[in-house]
Amino acid sequence: MSLKVLTIFGIAAKLIQVAVLPVAQAQTSLATCLPEFGWMNNSLHQSPCVVGAYMLGVCNSGEFTVLPLAPSHHYTGPTAGQANPCQCSTVVYSLISACGACQNRTVEAWSAWQTNCSVVYPQQFPGTIPSVTRVPAWAYLDVVKSDAFNATAAKADRSAPESTGAGPKPTGSFSTTTTSSPTPTPSISGGNDSGTNGSNTTGGDSSSATTSKKSPAGAIAGAVIGVLGGLAIIATLVFFFIRRRRAKTAPSATYAYNAHSDAALNASPPMSQHSHNPLPRLYDPSDPSTFPKTPAGPTVQTANIASPQQYQSNQYSGFPEL
């Protein structure tokens, strides 16, 4: 196989790799914290928005996205019939509330957040903490008594050890306390600040944010389309490569024949070395054929008529010999 064909396959492999990459994407956050809230980040430099997305992904097939906050809204708790254990944990509530606070927004009270939860998990997380993240200690602070996330208390506890791995066991049975619809929630809806109790975070406007669950089926379909596109590119490049090689043939016989014919046409027969002009005849008054020809038409022509004496042998002009 030639070097060009190997190069084509290498490029196609890269395209296929790029097309498959989205399948491996996990939890993400499009929300950005203000610089002054950098103390909320964990030791991996992950914001509370990112950590919250990882924790919510545990109950959402491993995928969850936290969207940025819009003006006049705030993050809200799970809706009726869609609550899951992760959303009903005060750890997740504190992380998502901190995500709102770091964008300089107010947050929803815990009592409003857990309204649709059949069972709550105070100061504990009901699942296993993903290995790619670490939960700050302040996320485990008590929010039930104060009924809100307290940013001041969280900042004071920022140096405490982080949590990793499995969290404490929930204080209830999943089989008896789950809601009628255990389907993982695809989003967290937003709500206005009116009618809710805000925490002690600063900032005039509150905001809403929704989180969207990525569809694995859509990611797989995108990967399949990417693979098929890569194979189509390979086939197209190989086709043009083979066609280009076949097009390189020798010059045609017609061109050679024309070149030979041109050479024959351009050649002219050599002139004979023995060809010469006839000598002019001497003027003879008695021979009309030696008379000069009368010019035709109005053209005037002149001719030198040689005297007969010029052609007599042994004659010359001058003085006689003595």
pLDDT tens column, 231-267: 888 888 888 888 877 776 544 444 443 444 444 434 4
- Among 111, 108, 130, 132, residue whose Cα is nearest residue 122: 111
Count of beta carbons in the 10 Å neighbourhood of residue 225: 11
Q: Note whether 227 and 114 are same-domain residues.
A: no
Residues 53 and 29: beta-carbon distance below 8 Å: yes
Q: Note whether 198 and 220 are same-domain residues.
A: no
Query: What would the pLDDT profile of 9-29 be if each residue is shown by its tens digit?
Result: 555 444 444 333 333 345 677
Q: Note whether 188 and 200 are same-domain residues.
A: yes
Q: Note whether 113 and 231 are same-domain residues.
A: no
How far the first Cα of the chain sits from its last, in Å, is: 109
Q: How far from the centroid of its chain's Cα atoms is residue 124's Cα?
A: 43
- Any domain includes 304: no
- Any domain includes 239: yes
Res 120: pLDDT? 96
Q: Tell me which residue range forms the domain holding 189.
A: 26-213
Res 56: pLDDT? 95
Per-block mean pLDDT, blocks of 10 residues, the chain (322 long)? 51 44 53 95 96 95 89 89 95 97 94 96 95 96 96 96 68 31 41 51 38 49 76 85 72 43 45 54 73 54 45 43 43
Last residue of a domain, one of 213, 238, 269: 213
CA atoms within 13 A on the CB side of 136: 31
How many domains does the chain contain in total? Answer: 2
- Any domain includes 265: no
> Alpha helices of the chain — where are they, by DSSP H?
3-20, 48-57, 90-101, 110-113, 151-156, 174-177, 216-246, 253-266
- Convert 161-189 to b/e letters by CB count within 10 Å (16 or more is b): ebbeeebeebeeeeeeeebeeeebbebbb
- Any domain includes 300: no
When computed from its CA atoms, the radius of gyration of the chain, rounded to whole angstroms, is 52
DSSP type of residue 76: -
Q: Note whether 224 and 136 are same-domain residues.
A: no
Q: Note whether 126 and 140 are same-domain residues.
A: yes
Res 262: pLDDT? 46
Cβ neighbours of residue 121 under 8 Å, at least 6 residues apart? Answer: 85, 88, 89, 90, 91, 170, 171
Distance CA 238, CA 158 (A): 60
Q: Note whether 128 and 240 are same-domain residues.
A: no
Q: Note whether 178 and 236 are same-domain residues.
A: no
Last residue of a domain, one of 170, 198, 213: 213
CA atoms within 13 A on the CB side of 304: 3
CA distances from 202 to 76, 198, 206, 236, 291 (A): 18, 10, 10, 60, 136
Q: Note whether 38 and 157 are same-domain residues.
A: yes
Q: Note whether 195 and 224 are same-domain residues.
A: no
